[in-house]
Structure 1
Amino acid sequence: MSTSLTWRPLTTGDAQGSADLLNAIETVDKIGENYTAEDTHQELIDPYTDLERASLAAFDGDVMVGYMKVRHKPSAAEVHRVFVDGGVHPGYRGRGIGAALVEAGVAAAKVVHALHHPSRKLVVDVHKAEHIAGVAGLLRSQGFAPVRYFQRMEHTLGDALGEVVIPDGLRVEQWSERNDEDFRLIRNEAYQDYWGAAQMPADSWRNKITNQTFRPTVSFLLRDKANGTPAGMLVTMHWDADTAATGIRDAHFMLIGTRPGYRNRGVATALICHALRTAAGQGYDRASLNVDSANPSGGFGLFEKAGFMPRMRYVRWALEV
């Protein structure tokens, strides 16, 4: 570890420094993620991130050059999967900073696990794009192993978009404050059999979903006409910093879910096609999404059929503690 740096936990006042660091990392790692201070502030106020106990940042003077932060789960069944995120400025790599941050992240994960879900098994997760140099070697040296793969998929928006066919007996609704809770209900029921997923309480929903990046005019649900039951939903998000950096307006389909009782009726396909057409009509250049390679609902094939193409693979690394 470099001895010329100062180390301390992150605070909510580190939003601009965090954004500057992440944007410097993007210039080399090229994962398509750019940030404003508002974006990073939203992450720093996450109700399931304990900055005092479970974060650490390295500074060279006033400049943040590395960080890690831990996010614990609101709930856990048999396994509590604690997520560790972090990165090192490209100009400071190769000095042992990354190893120090990973070690600190594992130690912090144990602390928050003991506070929130001590009776459950602890697994520490790290999620990184496969192509980033040095990540695999670093994580393997700390005892992590790859356990899951995810794909970022993209769809260029133009004239050749599929026809929107709404399944019989269902109707489309755009997001509103009135049906917001229905969106969250669908998410929690649809994702209950997804690997690593946990229930999303209202405070997490507000922090992670309906924040400044949420795009309600490209977010929809399907509702059963007969009984009013919400059947499926799609949530779209957009990062202004990405457009500023690339010139591309990307509509990111953050959540797509169908309640179990409405599966195999074309709900997800209808939502995707409707959202693609809406996004194109609103001037978006591209749609994107991330999918688990072993998605139980067959997501990868569904998205390929809708015109999405794989662009980047991510690895979920795990350490059983």
Structure 2
Amino acid sequence: MPGRSSSPTWRPLTREDAQASADLLNAIEAVDGTGEHYTAEDTLQELVDPYADLERGSLAAFDGDTMVGYMKIRFKPSAAEVHRVFLDGGVHPAHRRRGIGTALVEAGVAAAKVLHTRHHPRSKLVVDVHKAEHIAGLAELMRSRGFAPARYFRRMEHPLGDVAPVDEPRIEPWSEATDEDFRQVRNEAFEDHWGAVPMPADMWRNKIINQTFRPDVSFLFRDAAGVPVGLLVTMSWDADTEATGIRDAHFMVVGTLREYRRRGFAGALLAHALHAAADQGYDQTSLVVDSASPSDASGVFEKAGFVPKTGYIRWALET
């Protein structure tokens, strides 16, 4: 357990903080039950995010060599009327109730304003924080700094056993040759989703095509003319498997072009991916859904057999 120094040292995050970041996040999970476990490789992927300016948009608190708190800003590659900046952070359970969380939130809001001015000054700035609703003290901290609930999300899970195969020749797995089709379909399918912006190639590589990506459980759906109209992208975290003994295939992205919705494409993709995950030895599948999704995603997932679990709140501060 970290010591009880009353005066932590502060500095921006660097790429060399991957292991210290993983240690902190795992200590937070042990108390908060976030269900998210990390390796240094996982946290490094976030530290090298091309839209995370560590020098201007991060801050970490240290007790000796141990990281006891952090915040990190991720700005958007593009923005129209609103630029929604994402603020992430946390405090080690043994160092809470000492003002570190408040200081980090305030520093995060200030950093968000700096990055907003540098990248999208003509848009309105909104700072978003996305956290599980059950974390003790989080709501009080958010409200005290002017944040209010803006959106609600839900993690859903589907245990796997014997899953019937799906005979759909228009569904194909991810490949290097179709990677750009996947990215383009994702961008078009999420044009009308709250807070979503197109993912440029560098963000796609960082957030999707990384060590957690599972290409054998990621699929593209083409229409009768061969045009890609839907996708399902799967990711899986080895740290979660090691910590829980449960091998989870997380459906990170499930989307269909707007004009092709309500035709069964999403259902077919889900059924196909569920069979593939079961066939490859996964114990369960999971996903996170926006409760106000314009495509009625919650209903589609429930029909496919997913059960609601952990709730999340997207807190927002309009500046």
Q: TM-score, normalised by structure 2?
A: 0.97
Q: Aligned to 1:269, which of 262, 267, 270? A: 267
Aligned residue runs from structure 1 range 58-97, under 5 A: 58-97=61-100
| Counterparts of 1:138 and 1:222, CA distance in 2 | 43
Q: Aligned to 2:316, which of 300, 315, 318? A: 318
- Deviation track 1:25-49 (CA, whole Å, cap 9, x = no partner) reads 0000111100000000000000000
- Which residue number corresponds to residue 303 of structure 1? 301
Give the letter for the 1:164 counterpart. V
| Counterparts of 2:154 and 2:81, CA distance in 1 | 27
Deviates more, 1:281-290 or 1:216-225: 216-225
- Which residue number corresponds to residue 240 of structure 1? 238
- Which residue number corresponds to residue 149 of structure 2? 146
1:163 CA drift (Å): 6.2
| Counterparts of 2:224 and 2:301, CA distance in 1 | 26
| Counterparts of 1:216 and 1:225, CA distance in 2 | 23
| Counterparts of 2:310 and 2:174, CA distance in 1 | 29
SS at match of 1:212: coil
Give the letter for the 1:309 counterpart. V
Q: Aligned to 2:55, which of 41, 52, 63? A: 52
- Which residue number corresponds to residue 38 of structure 1? 41
- Which residue number corresponds to residue 283 of structure 1? 281
Aligned residue runs from structure 1 range 222-261, under 5 A: 222-226=221-225, 228-261=226-259
| Counterparts of 2:292 and 2:20, CA distance in 1 | 36
SS at match of 2:151: strand
Aligned residue runs from structure 1 range 80-119, under 5 A: 80-119=83-122
- Which residue number corresponds to residue 164 of structure 1? 166
SS at match of 2:177: coil
- Which residue number corresponds to residue 128 of structure 1? 131
| Counterparts of 1:196 and 1:42, CA distance in 2 | 22
| Counterparts of 2:164 and 2:83, CA distance in 1 | 40
- 1:6 and 2:9 correspond: yes
Instruction: Report runs of 4+ in structure 1 exceeding 2 Å deviation.
Output: 161-166
1:261 CA drift (Å): 2.6
| Counterparts of 1:136 and 1:104, CA distance in 2 | 18
1:164 CA drift (Å): 3.0
- Deviation track 1:128-163 (CA, whole Å, cap 9, x = no partner) reads 00000000000000000001000000000012x366
- 1:19 and 2:22 correspond: yes
| Counterparts of 2:257 and 2:213, CA distance in 1 | 22
Distance change >3 Å, CA 17–CA 126, structure 1 → 2:
same
| Counterparts of 2:258 and 2:305, CA distance in 1 | 24
Give the letter for the 2:111 counterpart. A
| Counterparts of 1:165 and 1:147, CA distance in 2 | 40
- 1:173 and 2:172 correspond: yes
- Which residue number corresponds to residue 215 of structure 1? 214
Please say if residues 162 and 306 of structure 1, whose CA atoms lie closer than 8 Å, have aligned partners that are also in contact.
no
SS at match of 1:82: strand
Give the letter for the 2:13 counterpart. L
Q: TM-score, normalised by structure 1?
A: 0.96
| Counterparts of 2:254 and 2:40, CA distance in 1 | 27
| Counterparts of 1:310 and 1:163, CA distance in 2 | 24
Give the letter for the 1:71 counterpart. R
- 1:187 and 2:186 correspond: yes
Please list every run of 5 or more consecutive structure 1 residues that lacks an aligned counterpart in the other structure: none
| Counterparts of 2:164 and 2:132, CA distance in 1 | 30
> What RMSD over aligned residues (CA atoms) do the two structures have, in Å?
1.1
| Counterparts of 1:246 and 1:288, CA distance in 2 | 14
Q: How many residues align?
A: 315
| Counterparts of 2:318 and 2:142, CA distance in 1 | 13
SS at match of 2:13: coil
